Structures are given as C-alpha cells and as structure tokens.
Amino acid sequence: MTQNPSTPPAHRTSEPVKIEIDDSLEAVGPDAWDAVHAGSRLRAPFLAWTWQREWVGVFAEGRRLELRRVVDAAGRLVALLPLVEIGPQRFMLAGGADVSDYLDLLALRGEETDAWAALLEARAASRAVWELHAVPAASPTVTALPGLAAAAGLVAHAPVEERCPVVALPESWDAFLAALPKKHRHELTRKLRRFEREIPDGRIAWETTPAGIDTRLEHFLALHRASRAGKAKFMDARMERFFRRVIVALAARGAARLAFLDVAERPIAAFVMLEWEDTVGLYNSGFAPERAALSPGLVLLAGVVRDAIERGRRRFDFLRGEERYKYEFGPSAEEVHAVTIEARA
C-alpha cells in the first residue's frame, strides 16, 4: 500500500524529489529494483532483488516493512531504502546484521547524496531510529550522511563495525604465490603437497546450477554444522530455509556456486561462493573436523582462489570477519560501518 507521497524541501538538489512509502517489496518489483541495483556503486548480491526478497520473506515475517522510494521530478526511481521494524520506533535496513556482508541505501551512482538529503528531510520530525549495518567505508552513507543529518536536525553515527579482507588477484596462480609473504607461501605449498600425497584421489568439485546446488546443499549444511562450535546454533531451521532459498535463486542468475573438496567416500570441505562483477566472495564454509590435520579448508580455499584467477576475476573477497586463515592469503582489510540515524536528544 502506497502512502501519500511527501515532497521535502529541495535545499540541495537541482530537481525536486519525492519520497513514497510502501509496505511491500512487490510495490517496486524485480525489474525496477534490479535496474537501480545495476546502476549503483555497490553491485554485491546482498542488495539485489533476489537476496532482499528472500531475506524479507524469512527474517521479516510478521514485521512491519517500510520501503522508501526516492523518485525524481521526471518520475525516475533513483533510490530505495527498505526498513524493517525491530522494536518500538526502531528500524533496521533489510538484510539485517548477520547474513548480509555489504548493505547500503540502494541508489543510482551519483544520486546517493541527494537521495539521502531528501530521505532525511522527509523524516526530520520523526523520533524513529534507523540502523544500517555493513556499509562500505567509501559509501556516501558513511562519508556524507553525518553532515546531511546534522543539516536536517538529526544525528548520524558511523563507527567501524567489521572489516572484510580483500585480495587483488594477479593474472596467474604463480604470480599470486610469489606475492605472498615467504612464511605464508611456504606453509600453503607445504599443506597442498601433503594433501596431494596423503589423499591422491582428492578433487575439487563445483555445483553451479540450481538443480545441482539443490542436490548437494545438504552436504554443505552438514559440514557447516559440524565444523565449529556455534555454527550449528547459527544454522537453525530458519537460517537453513533462507540458505536453501537464496543460494538456489542466486545460482539461477549466475551469482552463486558451491565448491566441494571431495574424497572417495564423501566431501570433507565445502564453500558457498558468491560472484558479482569481477569479484568472487567466500560467503560461508564448512569442513569435516576429523580431517582437520589435512587442512581441507585451506586446500579448498587455494583451489577456489586459483579458479577465480584462471577465470579472469580481479578481486577475491573474504567478506566480513578477520579470521586468521584469511590473512594467510595476503589480503588488505576494507572497513564496513554500522550507521545509526536518530533525532537529536
């Protein structure tokens, strides 16, 4: 249901904009949503229609949704801000805080600042708190929003929330190895050789089709739950439902793959990989703890990095979290921020 649109004062835009508020994603629909996503700075799948629809369907069930649309004077949709109520007068950006590694206002490139100014002016009298998680450091939501909020009589905070280790990929696997610190290169090659020596029939297998992923997702889930204390609690029935829906749906768009390290009897490591533009992202993982001495996760990780290089990808993103093993592959840390917008006290 669309509420009466409000047209905020245009103190900083060359053209007036209006804000429209709906209570469902379907008010925009996949085509219009993904057109904005395709024209945005942040092309990661967490902001695409598929991810947002599945997240709202699983994690926002029974909650109030406010989808704010920013439309320019020509009627062009320039930005989307889907907010889910998480408490009295408190809203969180759809995508949440736990399962989406990059989130932001979804806006056409170059329209972010004007869109934020309009959104803030339209809510200037509200006492509601807005929370946005996992916003990249370079986003105007981090760099420009605090000043825009102050101009609208609001307060915005944007502390660092987490860091994403990211590797710039060279043109060959040999060049990648050569660029690693000597200690890490030695350890990696030693573990790869040991695995090849002790498990000569081990191989990396990929599932890239929706049908193939649907068939083998059970293997990933079992390894994920077994691999570390706490992961079984994370992968509860609701989370499993989300994984099953979103990974298969993304695979249909060429944006998700499963990688397995298979041995004769069964897989001993598995990854969920996400892909966008020239980036390959390691989204989630699992391994057989009884085979930990063989470093199956590290072996599979080397394989998926090598595969990304051989397919011409230029970035390997470990996504949120700074686990030690990620830094054995020579990444740089890129910050993401938790942004809070609220009325002045």
Q: 49-73, pLDDT tens digit by residue?
A: 999 999 999 999 999 999 999 999 9
pLDDT at 6: 45
Distances (CA, A) of 238 to 100, 235, 243: 15, 8, 9
> In the prediction, which pLDDT does 14 show?
47
DSSP state of 102: S
Structure tokens at 157: 């905070």
Residue ranges of the alpha helices (H) in 75-181? 112-122, 140-143, 145-151, 173-179
Say which CATH class 170-313 falls into.
Answer: alpha beta
Say what the pLDDT of residue 16 is: 65
pLDDT at position 218, please? 96
Structure tokens belonging to residue 234:
């994370």
| Superfamily for the 17-161+335-343 domain | Gcn5-related N-acetyltransferase (GNAT) (3.40.630.30)
pLDDT tens digits along 201-248: 999 999 999 999 999 999 999 999 998 777 878 899 999 999 999 999
The pLDDT of residue 13 is 44
> Distance (Å, rounded) from C-alpha 11 to C-alpha 7?
12
Give pLDDT, residue 231.
81
Q: What's the CA gap between 15 and 39, in Å, rounded?
A: 19
Where in the chain do CATH 3.40.630.30 domains reside?
17-161+335-343, 170-313
b/e map 303-340, b = 16+ CB within 10 Å: bbbbbbbeeebebbbbbbeeeeebebbbbeebebbbbb
Q: Which residues of the chain register pLDDT less than 50? A: 1-14
